[in-house]
Structure 1
Amino acid sequence: MITIETLVFNHWQENTYILYDETGEAVLIDCGVFFKEEGKRLIDFLELKKIKLVKQLNTHLHIDHVLGNQFAKDQFNLLTQAHKDDEFLLAEAPNYGLRLGLENVVEPPALGKLIKDGDVITFGNAELKVLHIPGHSPGHVVFYNEAQKFVIAGDVLFRESIGRTDLPYGNYEQLLEGIKNKLLVLDDDVDVYPGHGPATTIGHERSNNLFLKGLS
């Protein structure tokens, strides 16, 4: 049984997820740690629950989702796994930070492993299937657990909204096509855990998300 913990970090109020099961093994998804106290909060949570991080994953490599990748390498000896089509974004992080007034953004570590559509990531007794859904960024993926019916959606799908496509390398039509073919084929009771804001369900978005009208 997977337990999902959400920790909200950095200027963008980014959702960092810790998934763990009864074995005590855990994965860290989209580590957004930026401030010292945020790192302490993450470590304190792991110690409180007596769980061990065994893998680090990224839905995509925009700055708000990778600010803690160096922290994860230093503290847990973990390099993130992400899609190759977003790899180039790592080098852009420091300059992007400077444009936003953040002077101490370091280039995140190189990827530890490339993942692709259809891959299955395991930890403890649990599995996450990789679904490649570009459009917000070229290499954006979501992580789907069929047994417990949830997706870690990153910035693809939000409660009654979708990911921005007006950023560099965004593609609105591509994003909608991916949502239609990869997410709206799932059952209505599948929970959706986005990169920002509250959780939702596929059914709620199918009925209430104006961006998705006519897609399903």
Structure 2
Amino acid sequence: MLNIETLVFNPFQENTYIVYTGNKECAIVDPGMLFPQEEEMLEDRINSLGLTPKLLLQTHLHVDHVLGAAFVANKWGIGPMAHEGDDFLVGQAKTMAAGFGMDLKENPPAPVKHLKEGDIVELGDVKFEVIHLPGHSPGGIAFYAKNEKVLLVGDVLFKGSIGRSDLPGGNQHELIDAIRNKLLVLPDDVKVYSGHGPVTTIGEEKKTNPFLQ
């Protein structure tokens, strides 16, 4: 059984996910907490659910998705897992945050493990396959739990939209190719959890997303 809790953090309204299984182990996906009260919210939710954080998973390393990575790494002793294509963003996070008027005390921790296409990440009895989806950022990845029909996709695909491709390392052709060839081939009833905004499904985006018609 797979459960997903969504917390919305920081001025970018970023979705931070707590993903957990029946054994009460959890993964924290894209921690975006900027303020102490947001850190408290995450910690309180994890404690109230009786969970033990085991994994820190990053769909990509844009600043709004890594603001809380240092807190998670320090609090629970788990380092980020991400694609090496986004490593160049780690050292820029503090400067990028300042450009948006956000005070990030330190750059986020560098990934302790690099994930690539086809890797399997296990959480309890759930297996997530890593799908590499460049275009929004070079190292964008999704986590796909095939049996549970769940896809954590970061900022590649949204309800009715797609990720922007005008940031460093972005490429719109790559992005649309990745979505078409790797995501739209998944079953229609797969639930899509994006980095911002509501949950959608592969079938809904196939039918109605104006960028994919």
Of stretches 93-102 and 28-37 in structure 1, the one that deviates more from structure 2 is: 93-102
Does the CA-based 8 Å contact 1:26-1:53 persist in structure 2? yes
1:73 aligns with 2:73: yes
Paired residue for 2:82?
82
Partner amino acid for 2:138?
P
1:41 aligns with 2:41: yes
Paired residue for 1:130?
130
The two structures, once aligned, show a CA RMSD in angstroms of: 0.8
**Aligned-partner Cα distance in 2 for 1:136–1:104:** 23
Partner amino acid for 2:109?
P
**Aligned-partner Cα distance in 2 for 1:109–1:168:** 20
**Aligned-partner Cα distance in 2 for 1:100–1:184:** 33
Does the CA-based 8 Å contact 1:93-1:105 persist in structure 2? no
Partner deviation per Cα, 1:100-130 (whole Å, 9 max, x = no partner): 2223342111211110000000011111110
SS of 1:44's partner is: helix
Count of residue pairs the alignment pairs up: 213
**Aligned-partner Cα distance in 2 for 1:36–1:103:** 12
Paired residue for 1:61?
61
Give every structure 1 segment of 4 or more consecutive aligned residues whose post-TM-superposition deviation is greater than 3 Å: none
Partner amino acid for 2:210?
L
Partner deviation per Cα, 1:136-158 (whole Å, 9 max, x = no partner): 00000000010111100100000
**Aligned-partner Cα distance in 2 for 1:74–1:178:** 34
Residue correspondence of structure 1 range 117-196 to structure 2 within 5 A: 117-196=117-196
SS of 1:98's partner is: helix
Q: Percent of aligned positions with the same letter in both sequences?
A: 46
**Aligned-partner Cα distance in 1 for 2:86–2:75:** 24
**Aligned-partner Cα distance in 1 for 2:199–2:105:** 28
**Aligned-partner Cα distance in 1 for 2:53–2:103:** 29
1:113 aligns with 2:113: yes
Partner deviation per Cα, 1:185-214 (whole Å, 9 max, x = no partner): 01111110000000000111001001001x
Does the CA-based 8 Å contact 2:67-2:108 persist in structure 1? yes
Paired residue for 1:95?
95
Give me the TM-score of the superposition, normalised by structure 2. 0.98
Does the CA-based 8 Å contact 2:151-2:191 persist in structure 1? yes
Q: Name stretches of at least 5 consecutive residues in structure 1 with no aligned partner.
A: none
Give me the TM-score of the superposition, normalised by structure 1. 0.97
